[in-house]
């Protein structure tokens, strides 16, 4: 079993992998003795009062770090992305962590990654801690409750949902004056007081009064009655479990409710509150974003927000601890911020801006922050650049594109790859023609990344069955397409030692002059943004719009949402919106069937095809293998 040295001579962070046979990810993780989280914090430059330990292996970090280090120059900022993956994934998380471990052997480094949902952890995908000798430890704590952020999001989201249906119920059963009297009850002397959040609604209505008794009957009606149109409600309840039977439900069937309607559940990480957490820049910014989340429209077509419901402040209180990043460590002891975990289809699929802010200050000008963008580069990377960095104001230094021979064989015409079924033999033996043909997909992603004006390093993530000849083709094709460099990496097997060439290439790329630019300006129309992404990034011939999408685009333009960036919701398994089309499809049309607004998070998301927001479980879910050793208390079977 692997063991770790705690001597400080081998690398910057004081932990190194010793020679050991490979085992399962969880066995590797549990064979390690992590540093005390207070020691990780000290080595990362945090003061004792800036860490709130949750046991000995993880802790919350105070946002005041950013103020303390405001005068320090940021480190280099590296985003890890990937080619269009197989359903099995191509090792972006493992590469992100492996690269950090490699850089950490001689430089200050921080990894910033998303918190995984427990749904896929117990489903078919498994966890997201990386793997082999490049993972976050303890992996069972990383993949399960962590410090409770997703639970906080679940509670906050469902409080909003309850507020919506409760308001509809009370408005249906009360007249205007009765509503007003209950919202602003009179004291014995006849005086009334607005709750502070009510003043936000008055300001929105253009009523410049602060004494409830001064409102006219018409103003009282406008203030008290939201008049929500149930058919426009976009807010759903959430749960952090893959449960297909909650996709469509009926609520309000109790004898006392009389407000029956169809709705559904999303998985917790699909909540807009999660996207808000990932894109917020401060506690004050989070409060404003949560308050302006649009949950429905009135019968007059006006947006109804969380603040209109009176719940924006309470939601922020539920999220006050979740805004702080969680500090953990890699298997080699380098520091990791785990923070936020938005979906990569209906949201932007990146970890938090706040974690990046803190990490970039902590590593300083000589250091590196390595973060990961969800799904392939056509989705996660584009959203990282056009949404996340637009709100953060940060400038990336380099993009690392992860490619595997397995995925390239699939894109070159290989058999279908299906999660949960054995791989075809072609993926375990040399197939030079398939690899060469599939490299067109990798080259497409390289050229896309170059459109943003930053250098691209290709990491060829080596699997045991890959041959030198296959990998040589990938390296040559990557450089041919304009990659700054392309290197083969064995970080899964060898930890930081296996990624030293990758680290050297990334360091060299980050020394190149930066010419970072967005794909589109905010000032162009909604359709112009959609079409730029579809044609320039995906390679579509044209874009078609359903009648529903056309109508919503017109409405969102009228409401002033046209300046928001676009967050395309499409399959991650193809450059097109058809998951069956591999390689680099041509001649296809992207159809926008619907478009929705995450006004609090700050983006519009067009729906291309059927997008599932709560997965189901397979016939044999991963939870079959998960159990506990009742003698030691250790978790077994997570992957």
Catalytic residue among 235, 337, 343, 375: 375
Catalytic residue among 235, 484, 492, 603: 492
Q: What is the pLDDT of residue 19?
A: 44
Q: Are residues 134 and 181 in the same domain?
A: no
Our answer to whether residue 390 is catalytic in this structure is no
Q: Are residues 33 and 177 in the same domain?
A: no
Q: Is residue 124 part of a domain?
A: yes
Our answer to whether residue 620 is catalytic in this structure is no
pLDDT at 97 over 50: yes
Is residue 204 a contact partner of residue 310, using CB atoms and an 8 Å limit?
no
Please count the other Cβ atoms lying within 10 Å of the Cβ belonging to residue 166: 14
Our answer to whether residue 92 is catalytic in this structure is yes
Catalytic residue among 76, 92, 105, 201: 92
**What does the DSSP assignment read for 560-608?**
T-TTSPB--B--SSSSSS-TT--SS--S-EEEE-EEEEETTTTEEEEE-
- Residues ≥6 apart with Cβ < 8 Å to 284: none
Supply the pTM of this predicted model: 0.95
pLDDT at 18 over 50: no
Catalytic residue among 57, 94, 111, 305: 94
Q: What is the pLDDT of residue 24?
A: 85
- Average pLDDT, integer, range 181-186: 97
Q: Is residue 619 part of a domain?
A: no
* Rounded Cα gap, residues 168 and 171, in angstroms: 5
pLDDT at 17 over 80: no
* Rounded Cα gap, residues 499 and 292, in angstroms: 44
Q: What is the pLDDT of residue 21?
A: 58
Q: Are residues 142 and 155 in the same domain?
A: no
Is residue 585 a contact partner of residue 277, using CB atoms and an 8 Å limit?
no
Looking at the structure of the chain, the number of domains it has is 3
Our answer to whether residue 60 is catalytic in this structure is no
- Provide, rounded to the nearest whole percent, the portion of the chain with pLDDT above 70: 96
Catalytic residue among 122, 463, 484, 603: 463
Catalytic residue among 129, 344, 403, 534: 344
Q: What is the pLDDT of residue 6?
A: 32
Q: Are residues 212 and 131 in the same domain?
A: no
pLDDT tier at 596, thresholds 50, 70, 90: very high
Q: Is residue 632 part of a domain?
A: no
Q: Are residues 348 and 407 in the same domain?
A: yes
- Average pLDDT, integer, range 295-318: 98
Q: Are residues 132 and 208 in the same domain?
A: no
pLDDT at 7 over 80: no
**Coil vs helix vs strand at 381:** helix
For 215-261, how does the pLDDT look when each residue is reduced to its tens digit (9 = 90+)?
999 999 999 999 999 999 999 999 999 999 999 999 999 999 888 99
Q: Is residue 405 part of a domain?
A: yes
pLDDT tier at 22, thresholds 50, 70, 90: low
pLDDT at 567 over 60: yes
Q: What is the pLDDT of residue 258?
A: 82
Q: Is residue 388 part of a domain?
A: yes
Q: Is residue 484 part of a domain?
A: yes
- Average pLDDT, integer, range 348-365: 98
Give the domain CATH number at 571: 3.10.410.10
Q: What is the pLDDT of residue 114?
A: 96
Nearest to 453 by CA among 525, 530, 509, 388: 509
Our answer to whether residue 94 is catalytic in this structure is yes
Our answer to whether residue 114 is catalytic in this structure is yes
Please count the other Cβ atoms lying within 10 Å of the Cβ belonging to residue 374: 26
Q: State whether the Cα torsion 334-54-321-65 is positive or negative.
A: negative
Distances, alpha carbon 275 to alpha carbons 123, 184, 233, in Å = 23, 33, 19
Q: What is the pLDDT of residue 129?
A: 85
Q: Are residues 350 and 437 in the same domain?
A: yes
pLDDT averaged over every residue in the chain: 94
pLDDT tier at 125, thresholds 50, 70, 90: low
Is residue 63 a contact partner of residue 362, using CB atoms and an 8 Å limit?
no
Q: What is the pLDDT of residue 108?
A: 98
Task: Kindly state the tokens that stand for 334.
Answer: 């380098």
Q: Is residue 628 part of a domain?
A: no
For 126-177, how does the pLDDT look when each residue is reduced to its tens digit (9 = 90+)?
678 899 999 999 999 999 999 999 999 999 999 999 999 999 999 999 999 9
Q: Are residues 306 and 328 in the same domain?
A: no
* Rounded Cα gap, residues 379 and 133, in angstroms: 28
pLDDT at 457 over 50: yes
Q: What is the pLDDT of residue 426?
A: 95
Our answer to whether residue 275 is catalytic in this structure is no
Structural domain including 167 reads 151-316
pLDDT at 409 over 60: yes
Our answer to whether residue 639 is catalytic in this structure is no
Catalytic residue among 125, 237, 462, 529: 125
Q: Are residues 273 and 414 in the same domain?
A: no
Give the domain CATH number at 94: 3.40.50.300
Q: What is the pLDDT of residue 8?
A: 36
Q: Is residue 624 part of a domain?
A: no
């Amino acid at each position: 079993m692997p063991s770790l040295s705690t001597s400080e001579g081998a690398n910057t962070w004081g932990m190194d992998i010793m020679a050991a046979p490979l085992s399962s990810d969880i066995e590797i993780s549990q064979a390690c003795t992590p540093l005390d989280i207070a020691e990780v914090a000290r080595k990362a430059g945090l003061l004792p009062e800036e860490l709130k330990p949750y046991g000995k292996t993880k802790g919350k970090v105070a946002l005041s770090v950013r103020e303390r280090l405001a005068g320090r120059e940021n480190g280099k900022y590296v985003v890890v992305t990937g080619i269009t993956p197989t359903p099995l994934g191509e090792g972006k998380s493992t590469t992100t962590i492996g690269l950090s471990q490699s850089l950490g052997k001689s430089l200050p480094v921080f990894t910033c990654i998303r918190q995984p949902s427990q749904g896929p952890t117990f489903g078919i995908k498994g966890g997201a801690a990386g793997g082999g000798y490049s993972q976050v430890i303890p992996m069972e704590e990383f993949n399960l409750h962590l410090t409770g952020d997703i639970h906080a999001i679940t509670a906050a989201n469902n409080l909003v949902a309850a507020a919506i249906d409760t308001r509809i119920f009370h408005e249906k059963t009360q007249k205007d004056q009765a509503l007003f009297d209950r919202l602003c009850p009179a004291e014995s002397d006849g005086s009334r007081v607005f709750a502070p959040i009510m003043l936000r609604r008055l300001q929105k209505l253009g009523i410049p009064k602060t004494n409830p008794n001064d409102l006219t009957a018409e103003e009282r009606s406008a203030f008290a009655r939201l008049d929500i149109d149930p058919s426009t409600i976009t807010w759903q309840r959430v749960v952090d479990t893959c449960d297909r039977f909650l996709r469509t439900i009926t609520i309000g069937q109790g004898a006392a409710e009389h407000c029956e309607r169809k709705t559904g559940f999303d998985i917790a990480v699909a909540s807009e509150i999660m996207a808000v957490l990932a894109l917020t820049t401060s506690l004050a910014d989070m409060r404003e974003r949560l308050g302006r989340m649009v949950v429905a429209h009135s019968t007059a077509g006006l947006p109804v927000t969380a603040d209109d419901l009176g719940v924006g402040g309470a939601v922020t209180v539920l999220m006050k601890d979740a805004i702080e990043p969680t500090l953990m460590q890699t298997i080699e002891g380098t520091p990791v911020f785990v923070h936020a975990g938005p979906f990569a289809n209906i949201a932007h699929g990146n970890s938090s801006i706040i974690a990046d802010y803190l990490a970039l200050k902590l590593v300083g000008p000589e250091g590196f922050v390595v973060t990961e963008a969800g799904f392939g580069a056509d989705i996660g990377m584009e959203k990282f650049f056009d949404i996340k960095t637009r709100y953060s104001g940060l400038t990336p230094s380099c993009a690392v594109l992860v490619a595997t021979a397995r995925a390239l064989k699939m894109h070159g015409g290989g058999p279908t790859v299906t999660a949960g079924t054995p791989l075809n033999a072609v993926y375990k033996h040399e197939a030079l023609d398939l690899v060469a043909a599939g490299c067109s997909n990798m080259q497409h992603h390289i050229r896309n990344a170059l459109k943003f004006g930053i250098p691209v390093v290709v990491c060829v993530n080596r699997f045991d069955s890959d041959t030198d000849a296959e990998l040589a083709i990938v390296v040559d094709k990557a450089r041919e397409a304009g990659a700054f460099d392309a290197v083969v990496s064995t970080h899964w097997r060898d930890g930081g030692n296996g990624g030293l060439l990758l680290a050297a290439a990334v360091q060299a790329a980050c020394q190149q002059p930066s010419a970072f630019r967005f794909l589109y300006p905010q000032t162009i129309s909604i359709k112009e943004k959609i079409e730029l992404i579809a044609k320039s990034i995906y390679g579509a011939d044209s874009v078609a719009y359903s009648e529903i999408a056309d109508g919503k685009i017109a409405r969102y333009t009228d409401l002033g949402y046209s300046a928001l960036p676009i967050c395309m919701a499409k399959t991650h398994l193809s450059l097109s919106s058809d998951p069956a089309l591999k390689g680099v499809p041509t001649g296809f049309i992207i159809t926008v069937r619907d478009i929705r607004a995450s006004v609090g998070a700050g983006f519009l998301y067009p729906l291309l095809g059927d997008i599932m927001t709560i997965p189901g479980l397979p016939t044999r879910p991963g939870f079959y293998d998960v159990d506990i050793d009742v003698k030691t208390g250790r978790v077994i079977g997570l992957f």
